[in-house]
Structure 1
Amino acid sequence: MRASRFIAAMLSKNPVLVLLLSMIFLSAIADPVTKLEGPKIVSALEASYGKRAAKRGTAWLNLMQANTRLSENDNLEKVNQFFNTFHFIDDIKLWGVNNYWATPVEFIGVNGGDCEDYSIAKYFTLLELGVADEKMRITMVKAVNLDQYHMVLAYYATPASIPLILDNIDGVIKPANTRNDLIPIYSFNGSQLWLNKDRGRSVASGDSSRLKRWRDLRQRINTARLKQPKLKLEF
């Protein structure tokens, strides 16, 4: 795709762009009053990606405005629907590497990404909307019908609940026990890693920082925090 090659070239010529956008994003989610950082996010998106990206950023900020009339399930639905409108693009075409985990701002800026980017964006957005970290797990699965690895976001209403699956392949949120096309492999959130020994049974397996790409993403976040000492983002 020409647009993807253009984006990759632009990013390679401007190595601080990713860090800048990550810093702005983290400033926003670290501050409960997201609208205070909203203009910075929109301005950065427009400067880096154009007016359409700025509009997507504005829509995202509006999405993250808490509405006490909405239930947690309502928030799951609106976040899932919002990000599932984005384009699926392989990392190698978009970023020039085989497996890059983008921040939500990067995902919004380029209007696309792969399954990891959908799941990460949904996870961080739901955190901003007040969904507890312990209720969510970013989950690597085997997509049986596609015969390939895939990533989704799982939501647990209670620790013993069958999780609901937020997926970019099947846009309808469904209980995990109805998704026979997905075989869970491992899952993680801000602090914990789980390994799936067999279908339906997961075993805690230490800190999620054991995952290199998650650790790399957090390292980029920590670098942003060093540049912005007032940030108080916690995983």
Structure 2
Amino acid sequence: MQVRNQSLPRSFRSVVLLGTRSLLLATFTLGLLFAAEAMPANTPLIPPGLVGQMEARFGSGAGRHLQHWDRFIRVQTGGSAQQRLKRVNRYLNRVPFVEDTAHWGVEDYWATPVEFVASQGGDCEDFVIAKLFTLQAVEIPPAQLRLMYVNALERNQAHMVLLYTPAPGVVPLVLDNLTNTVAPADQRKDLEPVYSFNSAGIWLQPLSAQPQQVRDYSGSLMWEDLRRRLRSEGLDIY
């Protein structure tokens, strides 16, 4: 896979520079609120009219990409959770990696899953958000998912991945846009964990058997902006 030159997210730079104590302050504006229920199976993934809106923004191919994604989700009812993780990771990794400045014209932008799929581009955070939404749609419990900022050691870059932990104390699996392999976290020697987060809060030492929860938190400006845009599309992350 081609090496992708990823810039350091502003929120991540702040954490690295300020250290653990300031992490608690920096993440006051970072925390994400991902809910605890999967999307109902009978809920339309793409509301009427949304495909046309995305085609108006991104061209005629946007509708084709969204319809293909919708069909992909609706056939993922069978198989184990790990099989669904692998399918979702591989499917969304087909989307090209594009820096926010080149794709959206701003330094840091969290795309909705529909924007990500329709525009066929995004950075590591966009991959993770799209995977989170898609896994909820295929009935992976959100409580088993955490987003994790890491150092990608071989590339000396900040990066974000998605963790799946089926039960407390189990080594999580890592979903990563840099590889189609869904591997246990203790096999990813190329990743240095910084912290992880989900609806329940924020954790330090995220890959240990007992990660240290340091914040019980919800509500960041970027997350609220994402939720607003999701609602305008007729979607949400529950």
TM-score where L is the length of structure 1: 0.75
* Distance across 1 between alignment mates of 2:75 and 2:178: 27
Match of 1:87 among 96, 110, 115: 96
The alignment yields a C-alpha RMSD, in angstroms, of 2.6
Pair 1:204–1:188, CA change in 2 (3 A): same
Give the counterpart letter for 2:122 in structure 1. G
> Which residue does 1:76 correspond to in 2?
85
The 1:87/1:205 distance shift into structure 2, 3 A limit, reads same
> Cα–Cα, structure 1 residues 117 and 192, in superposed 2: closer, same or farther, change >3 Å?
same
Deviates more, 1:108-117 or 1:39-48: 39-48
Question: Which of these residues, 133, 158, 164, is aligned with residue 173 of structure 2?
Answer: 164
* C-alpha deviation, 1:102, in angstroms: 0.8
- Does the C-alpha gap of structure 1 residues 199 and 160 become closer, same or farther in structure 2, counting only changes over 3 Å? closer
Q: In the aligned structure 2, how far is the partner of 1:182 from the partner of 1:36?
A: 33
What one-letter code is carried by the residue in structure 1 that aligns with 2:166? A
**1:74, CA displacement in angstroms?**
1.5
Partner in structure 2 of residue 140 of structure 1: 149
2:107 is equivalent to residue 104 of structure 1: no
Gaps of at least 5 residues in structure 2 are 1-37
- Higher helix proportion, which one? 1
Instruction: Give how far 1:145 is off.
Output: 0.6
Q: Quote the residue 1:180 is aligned against.
A: 189
Q: Which sits farther off after the overlay, 58-67 or 155-164?
A: 58-67
SS at match of 1:149: strand
Which residue does 2:164 correspond to in 1? 155
Instruction: List aligned pairs for 1:1-235, cutoff 5 A.
Output: 32-35=41-44, 37-65=46-74, 67-196=76-205, 202-209=211-218, 211-221=220-230, 224=231, 235=238
- 2:74 partner SS: coil
Structure 2 CA distance for aligned equivalents of residues 78 and 139 of structure 1: 20
Compared with structure 1, are the counterparts of its residues 214 and 186 closer, same or farther at alpha carbon in structure 2 (3 Å cutoff)?
Answer: farther
**Counterpart for residue 18 of structure 1:** none
Residue pair 1:38, 1:61 contacting (<8 A) in 2 also: no
Equivalenced residue count is 201
Indicate conservation of the 8 Å contact 2:185/2:207, yes or no. Answer: no
C-alpha distance 151-208 of structure 1, shift in aligned 2 (>3 A): farther
Judged with a 3 Å threshold, the aligned counterparts in structure 2 of structure 1 residues 80 and 208 are, in CA distance, closer, same or farther, namely farther
Return 5+ residue gaps in structure 1 as ranges.
Answer: 1-28
Aligned equivalents of 1:144, 1:181: Cα separation in 2: 5
Residue 38 of structure 1: how far off its partner (Å)? 4.8
Contact (CA 8 Å) 2:97, 2:122: kept in 1 or not? yes
Read off the aligned partner of 1:175 and give its amino acid letter: P
Q: C-alpha distance in 1, partners of 2:116/2:84? A: 20
Asked which structure has the greater RCO (Cα within 8 Å, sep 6+), the reply is: 2
Deviations along 1:53-99, one digit per CA (max 9) or x if unpaired, are 11110111112215443211111111111110011110011112111
* TM-score computed with the length of structure 2 as normaliser: 0.74
More displaced 10-residue stretch of structure 1: 88-97 or 198-207:
198-207
Deviation at 1:36, TM superposition (A): 7.2
Preserved CA contact (<8 Å) 1:42 1:54: yes
- Distance across 2 between alignment mates of 1:208 and 1:172: 31
Contact 1:140 1:151 survives alignment (8 Å)? yes
Q: Percent identity at matched positions? A: 37
